Chain A
C-alpha cells in the first residue's frame, strides 16, 4: 500500500523533527542545559502506572489522581544521575510550557486543516466560526472584573468559546441546513461584535491591561501540567474522530451536492466536523490564549508538501503544527524580553508563508 507508506514515512519523519525541536527547546533558557541532560532528566520523569487502588490514602507511594477518583501507583523505570537543579528546570519549568506548545500547535493545525477543507476556503482558520473571539470574551471578562469561577480563566474561556461557536452555528442554520457561506459570514459578524465587547472591556482594564494583552496575543508562560493533560486529551480524541472523517473531507472538497451523490450525509458530516474542530480549538485557545496564524499557514505548508488528501494531510499538519509552535515559542521566550508567542508566530510565519506562495507560483502554477 503506497499511501500507507507515505503517511507513515511523513508522520515518522515529522515526529522525529518534533522530538528534536522539543529537545533543542529545553536546552534554551537562562540556565544552559546540555541536550544529553535534557534527555536523561525527561526519561527520569517517565512514570508508568502499574496498579490502581480504589481505597485512597493507604500508602505514601501512591499518587492521587483527582479526576479519576482513585489512587494509582507508578514505577519510574529510569534513574539517571542528573543535578537536582537541572532536573527541576527541565521537568517542572521548561517541559510543561514546551509540551503545551506542542499540544496547542497540534490542536490548532488539526482544526485549521479541517476548517479549510470544510469551507473549501484557503482563508479559513480554526476560529472561523468565532471560537477565539468567544474565548477572549470569557477570559478578558475574568481578568478585567476579577471574577472567580470554577476552573478559572481556562474554564471561562473554554465555555464562552463553545457557546459562541454553537450560537454561530444556530444563526447560520435554517431547516436543518447550514450553508458554509452563511456560516462564514455569521462567523465574521459575531467575531466583529465580540471584538467590540473585548475592546470595551480593555478600556476598563486598568492594571490588568498587561495580563489581558498577553492573553490576547497568545501566551504559554503560565503553562502547567494540568493544562497539558486536559488539552492533550481533548486534542487527541478530536484528532482521532477527525481522522476517521478524512476521506469524507476529501469528497466534500468536490462540493456539497457532488459529495451527496457520492453517498456522504453532508449536513451530518459538517456538524460533526464543525463541532469537533471547534472543540479542539477551544481547548487550545483556553489554555494558551489567541495564537494566530498557526492554524492558517501550517496546513497550507503541508498541502504544498504532501498534497490535498486529508488522510495524509491531517496527521502531517498536526505534527508539523506541534513542531512549529514549539520552535516559535522557544524564540518567544529565548530573547532578551519575553514575548507572547502569538507575536512570534505571526512575525515569523507570515514572511515564510509569503516565500512559499512565491515559490509555488514559480514552480507549479
Chain B
C-alpha cells in the first residue's frame, strides 16, 4: 500500500436534473482492490463512469496517478484506467482475440502498421482465455465473456482498472472464480475499483469497501470495520434488519438479511 492511485475528491455529479453524487471523497491505494457497495440507485455506476472519464463532475475532481481525469483526452484516460463494462452486447462476430486486441487501441498510433501482439497474448494467458482466442465472442458463455473483457482491460496495460458489477450475471462458481482472478491480478500489481453487489464476496476478496447510499459515502475502510449492522441498515433502508457473523469457511464477514418475522436475538445462535 502506498500513495492513492485513484483519488476521488469531493465529487458531485448531476445527470439531467437529478443530482446523483454529492461530495464524494475516497481514495484507492496503489495495488489494492476496493469494492463499491450500496443499494441499487446509490450512484455506484455513475461514480465509476466519473472515474473513467465518461462523465464530467459538476464539482470536485477525480485524479488517477495524480492526473486530473476530466482534463485529459479520451486516449490519455484510456492509458490510465481500463474499464470492464457490466455487459457488452457485440452483435458482430469478432473473435475473442480481436476483442482483447481492441484493448491496445489507446496505445497504438493510427498509422502504426503492426499490432503489438505480445500484451494481447499475455492477457489471454493470464485470464485463461487463450484457448478461446479464435472463437467468436458471440459463442462464449457469460463467465467466459467476463474473462475476455478482463483480458481486454489487461491488454490496455493501465495502472488502474474499474469494473461495473463484474459478477452480476454469473453463477456462484463463476462469481468466485472471476473475483479470484481479479484478486490475483491485483496481487500482481493492478489496482482495481469494482462495484460489487454481493457483500459477502466483496468482504472476502477486497482490501477495502466503500459504502455508498443516496450519492454519499456512508463508510469507507476494511471490510470488518465497514460491515456493521448500523452502516448496512442505514445504507439499505430502515426496514432491513441484518445479522453479521464470521463465515466459518472463509473467515470473512458474512451478512444475512432478516425478515421481520425471523426471530433473532443477539448472542443466542
Residues of B within 8 A of A261 (CB): 52-54, 77-78, 81-83, 85
Check A254–B102 contact: CB distance below 8 A.
yes
Check B114–A1 contact: CB distance below 8 A.
yes
Is chain B's binding surface mostly helix, strand, loop or mixed?
Answer: loop
Known: A263-B74, A264-B74. A258 touches B83 (CB 8 A): yes
Residues of A within 8 A of B98 (CB): 250, 309
A55 to B185, CA, bound (A): 71
Interface residues of B in 41-89 (CB under 8 A from A): 49, 52-54, 73-79, 81-83, 85, 88-89
Residues of B within 8 A of A262 (CB): 78, 102-103, 105-106, 156
A255 to B111, CA, bound (A): 23
B264 within 8 A of A: no
Check A260–B105 contact: CB distance below 8 A.
no
Among A244, A263, A266, A309, point to the contact of B106 (Cβ < 8 A): A263
A142 within 8 A of B: no
A308 to B106, CA, bound (A): 21
Name, among A262, A265, A303, the residue most crowded by chain B CB atoms within 10 Å (CB to CB). Answer: A262
A253 to B108, CA, bound (A): 18
Check B90–A263 contact: CB distance below 8 A.
no
Interface residues of A in 219-276 (CB under 8 A from B): 244, 247-248, 250-251, 253-255, 257-258, 260-266
A255 to B81, CA, bound (A): 18
Residues of B within 8 A of A308 (CB): 92-94
B110 within 8 A of A: yes
Residues of A within 8 A of B82 (CB): 261
A58 to B4, CA, bound (A): 76
A94 to B76, CA, bound (A): 53
A261 to B102, CA, bound (A): 11
Check A309–B105 contact: CB distance below 8 A.
no
Known: A254-B90, A255-B89. A260 touches B54 (CB 8 A): yes
Check B75–A263 contact: CB distance below 8 A.
yes
Nearest CB of chain A from residue B38's CB, rounded to whole Å: 21
Nearest CB of chain B from residue A253's CB, rounded to whole Å: 5
A152 to B221, CA, bound (A): 74
Among B49, B88, B110, B156, point to the contact of A255 (Cβ < 8 A): B88
Known: A261-B54, A261-B83, A307-B93. A251 touches B74 (CB 8 A): no
B18 within 8 A of A: no
Instruction: Report the nearest B residue to A303, measured CB to CB.
Output: B92
A250 to B93, CA, bound (A): 11
A260 to B98, CA, bound (A): 17
Check A244–B111 contact: CB distance below 8 A.
yes
A309 to B93, CA, bound (A): 9
A120 within 8 A of B: yes
Residues of B within 8 A of A303 (CB): 92
Nearest CB of chain B from residue A181's CB, rounded to whole Å: 15
B250 within 8 A of A: no
Name, among A253, A260, A261, A266, the residue most crowded by chain B CB atoms within 10 Å (CB to CB). Answer: A261
Instruction: Report the nearest A residue to B91, measured CB to CB.
Output: A120
Residues of A within 8 A of B81 (CB): 261
Residues of B within 8 A of A251 (CB): 102, 105
Residues of A within 8 A of B102 (CB): 250-251, 254, 262
Contact with A along B136-154 (1 / 0, CB 8 A): 0000000000000000000
Instruction: Report the nearest B residue to A269, measured CB to CB.
Output: B74
Residues of B within 8 A of A250 (CB): 94, 98, 102
Check A253–B106 contact: CB distance below 8 A.
no
Instruction: Report the nearest A residue to B156, measured CB to CB.
Output: A262
Nearest CB of chain B from residue A85's CB, rounded to whole Å: 49
Nearest CB of chain B from residue A273's CB, rounded to whole Å: 14
Nearest CB of chain B from residue A76's CB, rounded to whole Å: 37
Nearest CB of chain B from residue A255's CB, rounded to whole Å: 7
Known: A254-B88, A258-B88, A308-B92. A266 touches B74 (CB 8 A): yes
Contact with B along A286-313 (1 / 0, CB 8 A): 0000000000000000010001110000
Instruction: Report the nearest A residue to B106, measured CB to CB.
Output: A263
Contact with B along A150-181 (1 / 0, CB 8 A): 00000000000000000000000000000000
A1 to B108, CA, bound (A): 17
A254 to B100, CA, bound (A): 12
Check A260–B74 contact: CB distance below 8 A.
yes
A263 to B156, CA, bound (A): 10
Check A265–B94 contact: CB distance below 8 A.
no
Check A263–B93 contact: CB distance below 8 A.
no
A307 to B77, CA, bound (A): 30
Nearest CB of chain A from residue B107's CB, rounded to whole Å: 8
Check B105–A263 contact: CB distance below 8 A.
yes
Residues of A within 8 A of B76 (CB): 263
Among B73, B85, B108, point to the contact of A265 (Cβ < 8 A): B73
Instruction: Report the nearest B residue to A121, measured CB to CB.
Output: B91
Residues of B within 8 A of A244 (CB): 110-111
A350 to B145, CA, bound (A): 36
Q: Beyond the given A120-B91, A261-B53, could you list 12 further A-B residue pairs with CB under 8 A, ordered by the A residue number?
A: A247-B110, A253-B91, A253-B92, A255-B88, A255-B89, A257-B54, A258-B88, A260-B54, A262-B103, A264-B105, A307-B94, A308-B92
Q: B residues within 8 Å of A by Cβ?
A: 49, 52-54, 73-79, 81-83, 85, 88-94, 98, 102-103, 105-106, 108, 110-111, 114, 156
Q: List 16 A-B contacts (CB under 8 A).
A: A1-B114, A120-B91, A244-B111, A247-B108, A250-B94, A251-B102, A254-B90, A254-B102, A255-B89, A261-B77, A261-B82, A264-B75, A264-B105, A265-B73, A308-B92, A308-B93
Q: A residues within 8 Å of B by Cβ?
A: 1, 120, 244, 247-248, 250-251, 253-255, 257-258, 260-266, 303, 307-309
Chain A to chain B: the 5 pairs with minimum beta-carbon distance, closest first: A263-B106, A263-B78, A308-B92, A261-B83, A263-B75
